[in-house]
Structure 1
Amino acid sequence: MRILYSLLWWLALPLVLTRLWLRGRQEPGYRQHWGERLGFYPRASAAALGRAAPVLWVHAVSVGETRAAEPLVDALLAEYPQSRIVLTHMTPTGRATGKAIFAKHGERLVQSYLPYDTGSMVSRFIRHFQPQVCILMETEVWPNLIAVCNARKVPVVLANARLSERSLRKASRFGTLLLNAARGISLVAAQTEADAQRIRSLGVQRVEITGSIKFDVVVPEAALAIGAALRSAIGARPVLLCASTREGEEELILAAFESARAALPAEILLLIVPRHPQRFDEVEKMIAARGLNFQRRSQLTLDGSALQGEVLLGDSMGEMFGYYSACDIAFVGGSLVPMGSHSPIEPAALGKPILIGPSSFNFELVIEDVLAAGGAHRVADAADLMATAARLLNDSSARETMGLNAQSFANQHRGATRRTLTLLNDRI
């Protein structure tokens, strides 16, 4: 099965590279560093790590995983002061996020794209960087990567691991290919008992429950400063944030916003932050088509001038904590459409009341727990989202109670990073 899988990779490679080039029309980052995706690297990337220093490899596919990896990367570099980290990604947005988050570590951390999953490409990566351990964040299971690591005695660890029922059903369609790959993982640090049970069903020998590392993320002072500056520009106006929205959600939200204006506070600001930067211009056109007055975050100087308009389009990277900090209510995107919702942990950590749509399979247990703790409310659709927002914005006591419940929930779940680090000690 793995031979067939590898052959399919080679046959598909021209199409994969063509798609990469086409995606680069909207997001130029896809046209950069192609050599890395094929397993070719400049000597400087390995030299920056230092051959005498132990190299720890952490893979964070995109933005969410990169942000989640921050506490673990920081802890690894503190725990092993002589070590260096090579941090790999699959998307330009993940790489840009990593660059912003980990600039503080200087030459101790080098970034690269993960090579496509063929034996030769992965082998070149491992020969080049010579990692002592491979730490995959959350749900990444690559058959050839794991096989090459096993052959070269590089332990493979799945950290902050989660596996939904939906993902498990998808994995089962690949038969022995993914089952054999899963058995090659030497350690899994799972977020929940349910995740652990599903991962064990794939045949992984050692699965431990550590909780979610995302609860350990420390809100950067710079992000809080941006949030404070945004709040100053907004003034006393109530702010409904729709964070990490996905394709199909913005139209629903904008239509419901217009319909609910009579019930919403007169001076409300709707802050929409699309998940993917290549959609910023598309969402701007949606807002303009409805005749709504709006501004783009990229055009704000935050020099003390009052923010104008009914809608603010959050078209910046790396400022999500700032947006959460500046809002009064946070809706978590991906949940009005069948995308499974994004994580509610960031707004919970900042003590914000959270609204979540009906689709939440990606973070089902976390979402159910924060709902049970009284820190979040489930809405049925976009109209219900606006009706619930109107009720909360007109009831400061209920809003404050929800925010305190959310923050208490987040604080109770800290500690996953230290538990994961303890498990990693015998692998490094």
Structure 2
Amino acid sequence: PIAVGRILYKSIKDKDYRLNLSQRFGIYKINPSKKKVIWFHAVSLGEVIASEKIVNKLLENAEVILTVTTPTGLRHARKIYEDRLKICYAPWDSLAFMNRTIHSFKPSAIVIFETEIWPSMVHCSFKKDIPIILCNGRMSQRSFKSYARFKALVKTTLQRFSFIFVQSENQAKRFFELGANIEQLKIASSVKFDSHQLNEEFSNRDHEVEKNKVLLFASTHRGEDERLIKIYKNLKPMIANLRLVIVPRHPERHIEIEQILTKEGVNHSSQNNSKLEFEDNEVIVINAIGILAKLYAKADAAFIGGSMLGDTGGHNIIEPAASGCPFIVGEYMYNFTDILESFLIRDACIQASSDKEIELSLKSILTDNDQHGKINALEVVKENKGSSDSQARKILSFLN
């Protein structure tokens, strides 16, 4: 009842939470497949985007059933894959629902992407002798501390995985300390480095953008926009032709951001594409998903949201790097600690711990061409590509 109540509450803001509610109970209509089936779980939008290349690799040799938890993940998965695979909501993690799902899917292997360690799912697959692989695994320090309180249960769960790919040596240590066997673990970097095409020449900049300096606030959360808009207003008198693009993490928030801009007396408009037609407006608020890469390629500098507040832990920084956009992050990046470190040690991005530091760093990038070039992080992305291929090969080996 509590889980159903949460879904109904969330559906107030996104009615698609109510779609296919029976799937949350493990009830599916799945046609039998002649090929071997891989059940691939990617919890939400970010995981759906990041796992695209590895899922496409798996589709070359198997049928894939992709499960997600959120409507944004479901909608984007349908946009990416259309009818090339079955896309469903994942069941809640109970033994009865998981057994029912496995009976419907009949998977030859189960793949969990990144952070979801579900005891019932792992237990059911283990009992049915179905290989289960943690792909692109990561565990923040905060998650590690939480799991450590239930170390006996977590140890049993981890040791039932057939294989665990992790993104870094630090991640491997955390999994090992919680009970994973060393032979289960392999450091494979992050598939997110494979998720984005490199844009080395800013080829997507158009005439409207060329005549302006474009600042991008990406993946912002409630509580960040007011502070960032004030930073923009402080920068505006110092930088000629400065224009701002705001992309909220959740597109439905564009209305409240526009209300903040109106209150601040800032001319603005809303768009659902990447054309950046400022006209007489100085700010554009984006009410769409899936176009950030194009926007990064047009921006002169970016701040990555979700990093000013302690309850989010940051967002993907590989995307701006691959797009050739100099970027800054805030103090709270605990969900991307190792990836961030790979950029910081190369002096390839800036981490700022206060609003004033963010303002000064953005000013430096937007006014100093040498600084602009110095923070180009394309090389870091190039050096870490290839993880999707190696992980896909290992997953497919479990089908034989």
TM superposition score normalised by structure 1: 0.87
2:223 aligned residue: 248
Partner of 2:329: 356
SS in 1 for 2:233: helix
Aligned match of 1:372: 345
Identity %: 28
SS at match of 2:315: coil
8 Å contact from structure 1 (residues 295, 308) kept in 2 = no
Q: What stretches of structure 2 of length at least 5 have no aligned partner?
A: none
Tell me, yes or no, if structure 1 residue 86 matches structure 2 residue 58: no
- Map 1:1-150 to 2 at 5 A: 14-41=1-28, 43=29, 46-47=30-31, 50-78=32-60, 80=61, 83-103=62-82, 106-107=83-84, 109-150=85-126
In the alignment, which residue of structure 2 is the partner of 1:211? 189
Separation (CA, whole Å) in 1 of partners of 2:358 and 2:206: 22
Equivalent residue number for residue 327 of structure 1: 299
Considering fraction of residues, name the structure with more helix: 1
For 1:397 and 1:241, the matched residues in 2 are separated by: 20
What letter is aligned with 1:91? T
| 1:7 match | none
Is the alpha carbon distance of 1:283 and 1:375 closer, same or farther for their aligned partners in structure 2, counting shifts above 3 Å? same
User: Which amino acid in structure 2 is aligned with residue 40 of structure 1?
Assistant: I
Counterpart of 1:315? 287
Aligned with residue 282 of structure 1, among 252, 256, 264:
256
Of residues 381-390 and 289-298 in structure 1, the stretch that sits farther from structure 2 once superposed is: 381-390
Matched, 1:153 2:153: no
Q: Indicate the SS of the match to 2:150.
A: coil
SS of aligned partner of 1:420: helix
User: What is the letter of the counterpart of residue 409 of structure 1?
Assistant: V
* Corresponding letter in the other structure for 2:54: L
**For the aligned residues, what is the CA RMSD?**
2.2
Displacement of 1:20 in angstroms is 1.4
* 8 A contact 1:186–1:204 mirrored in 2: no
Deviation string 1:80-121 (CA, Å, 9 cap, x unpaired) is 1xx211011001111122122223xx33x1100110011111
Amino acid at match of 1:291: G
Q: Structure 1 CA distance, aligned partners of 2:50 and 2:188?
A: 14
Paired residue type of 1:421: A
Amino acid at match of 1:279: R
How high is the TM-score relative to the length of structure 2? Answer: 0.93
- 5+ unaligned residues in a row in structure 1: which ranges? 1-13
1:399 & 1:172 partners in 2: Cα distance?
42
CA pair 173-282 structure 1, distance change in 2 beyond 3 A = farther
2: distance between equivalents of 1:174 and 1:276? 33
Is 1:384 aligned to residue 357 of structure 2?
A: yes
Q: Could you say what secondary structure the match of 1:261 adopts?
A: helix
In structure 2, what is the Cα distance between the partners aligned to 1:326 and 1:200?
42
CA contact (8 A) 2:216 2:296 kept: yes
1:149 alignment partner AA: S
Q: Indicate conservation of the 8 Å contact 2:42/2:66, yes or no.
A: yes
- Does the 8 A contact of 1:27 with 1:278 survive in 2? no
2:397 alignment partner in structure 1: 426
Kindly provide the CA deviation profile for residues 351-380 of structure 1, in whole angstroms up to 9, marking residues without a partner as x. Answer: 211111111111112112212212201222
| Structure 2 equivalent of residue 271 of structure 1 | 245
1:260 to 222, 235, 238: 235
Provide, for residues 250-291 of structure 1, a one-character-per-residue CA deviation record: whole Å limited to 9, x for no partner.
11111222233322x132111111112342322222222212
| Pairwise CA distance, 1:231 | 4.2
Contact 2:327 2:350 in 1 (8 A): yes
2:388 corresponding residue in structure 1: 417
